[in-house]
Amino acid sequence: MSDSFDAVVIGAGHNGLAAALHLASKGWRVGVFEGAATAGGAVKTGEYTLPGFRHDWAAMNLSLFAGSPFFKAHGAELQRHGCAFVPVARPFASSFPDGSWVGVSTDMAETMAAISALSPPDAAVWQRLCAGFGAEAPHLFGLLGSPMKMRALAYFMFKTIRAKGVAGTLDMARFLLSSPRAFLDETFTDDRVKAMLGAWGMHLDYAPDIAGGAIFPYLEGMAGQAFGMVLGQGGADTIISALVAAIRARGGAVECGVRVARVVQSNGKATGIELADGRRIAAAKAVIAGVAPRNLAALTGPVEPRFDAAMAAFHHAPGTMMIHLALSDLPDWRAGAALRSYAYVHIAPSLDQMARTYAQAQAGMLPDEPILVVGQPTSVDASRAPAGKHTLWVQVRMAPAAIKGDAAGKIAARDWADAAAPFAGRVLDILEAHAPGTRAKIIGQRIVTPVEFETENPNLIGGDQVCGSHHLGQHFLFRPARGHANGSTPLGNLHLTGAAVWPGAGTGANPGFLLAQRLAGA
């Protein structure tokens, strides 16, 4: 393998791979070096319970990737290398303790019926929001896909004011600053409808009362209605294997199982990397680090005081625990058989419960009633399990990395080695209450704790799957730090990418694509 490239990428997460592929498509010689045994970072799939049962390690929903500017540019190439998706017409629903449920389907009549069963006025509001989504979407997606630099923001504001007027633009700004609860309380009347949408804020560290989180319940709800959801055929790693194959087909290198020890520097610039085995890899134009900000200093040493302080202070969201289950059959939901056909079922009873769970995890306590995201990928993709069998993807939000206590007062353990089993038992008790008989269907199980997530992938600090809080002080122009939202660093030729860089977490690959476009000039 060559020991000299135009660009060297540290880490084979989907953002690093996206950057590498785009640069390769512009004629750059690229090399990607990953410490783990397989590429993908948090986007990977494996037989974590039993042979033949394929589970997505962390990320499952690929809607952002399938609809991304990156896939628009490179999708045909990726499809030639095996990237394939499964469309989902029933993307998400919520199950409630009283036996009721509500869900979103791409069939408007079906969604309206589900919401009307709880609140006819809210169904009318839903219809109004959906009717207006086409007018709002270009502005919101335009902002989320825009480079975070003053010239780009000024142009975005000019276009928005011209389209919406000053009053409309101010209304949008107020919405962007609102908490999920503020938006949902202003918009809907039924607490269960609010909870169905508010659960999406928990995916990105936005508990109900965190300012700036209103956009995520709104966008997930509207996008789910308009487009449904997209899963990877056979597993989320379909995008990773295709990215790796495409890079290699263009003459690039992707090497896994090699740890990068440091970034080599000369005259104030990054000139390459040194691997733990002693090899030096030169980079003529760029070193791209797909690492958590807190981990950068271990590779570079001091760079610049203000920047170093910002990287060290980068704040992470509470952790996540995953429970992967191999099942003899899908859960029989108490609320009704219809829930078996939804890709995601949230067990998040109310905004108040979400807020309490978040506060408990932030305080280092094991939540007494954690929020569950129950993924049922085999309801739409039978290829992930042996015939007649199923996988269940249970994401537990939130879970502290360092356990200081148990909010329920029942688990004495203060380390995850001993707390994992009883806490998982609490999770399965909740699932069992909503879907009786599920425990009896379990034929294989794998628990992944926040500590194991970080051990396996150092970017997931404390088990934080979104690689950094998205609260307003660490978002937009401030992700990961003021002046560096474009992935730049004070060290010449060294750039950051990944979920810690604007526009942040998700499978859309925008941090990697925006960076590669900037470096390549298009």
In tens, the pLDDT along 235-271 reads 999 999 999 999 999 999 999 999 999 999 999 999 9
| Mean pLDDT of the 431-439 span | 98
Distance CA 314, CA 287 (A): 21
| Mean pLDDT of the 123-138 span | 93
pLDDT at 459: 96
pLDDT at 150: 67
Percent of the chain residues topping a pLDDT of 90: 91
CATH code for the part of the protein at 318-456: 3.90.660
Mean pLDDT estimate for the chain: 95
pLDDT at 137: 85
Show the tokens assigned to 144.
Answer: 């989320």
The tally of CA atoms less than 13 A away on the side-chain side of residue 447 is 18
- Domain(s) labelled CATH 3.90.660 in the chain stretch across 318-456
pLDDT at 162: 81
Residue 151, classified by CB atoms within 10 Å of its CB into exposed (0-12), middle (13-18) or buried (19+), is exposed
Distance CA 176, CA 180 (A): 10
pLDDT at 75: 98
Distance CA 121, CA 507 (A): 34
DSSP string, 121-161: HHHHHHHHHHHHHHHHHHHHHHHHTS-SSHHHHHHHHHHHH
30 forms bridges with which residues in the sheet? 7
- Domain(s) labelled CATH 3.50.50.60 in the chain stretch across 4-50+57-85+235-313+469-520
pLDDT at 141: 83
Is 1's pLDDT higher than 80?
A: no
pLDDT, tens digit, 9 for 90 and up, residues 73-125: 999 999 999 999 999 999 999 999 999 999 999 999 999 999 999 999 999 99
Is 369's pLDDT higher than 70?
A: yes
pLDDT at 489: 98
pLDDT at 155: 63
DSSP 429: H
Distance CA 160, CA 172 (A): 10
More confident residue, 140 or 437: 437
| CA-based end-to-end distance of the chain | 28
Is 310's pLDDT higher than 80?
A: yes
Is 209's pLDDT higher than 90?
A: yes
pLDDT at 148: 75
pLDDT at 142: 79
Is 152's pLDDT higher than 70?
A: no
| Mean pLDDT of the 344-367 span | 98
CATH code for the part of the protein at 4-50+57-85+235-313+469-520: 3.50.50.60
DSSP string, 34-81: ESSSSSBTTS-EE-SSSTT--EESS--B-HHHHTSHHHHHHHHHHHHT
Instruction: Identify the weakest region by mean pLDDT among 47-51, 149-153, 291-295, 322-326.
Output: 149-153
Percent of the chain residues topping a pLDDT of 70: 98
pLDDT at 2: 62
Is 403's pLDDT higher than 60?
A: yes
pLDDT at 66: 97
pLDDT at 21: 98
| Mean pLDDT of the 188-203 span | 97
Is 29's pLDDT higher than 60?
A: yes
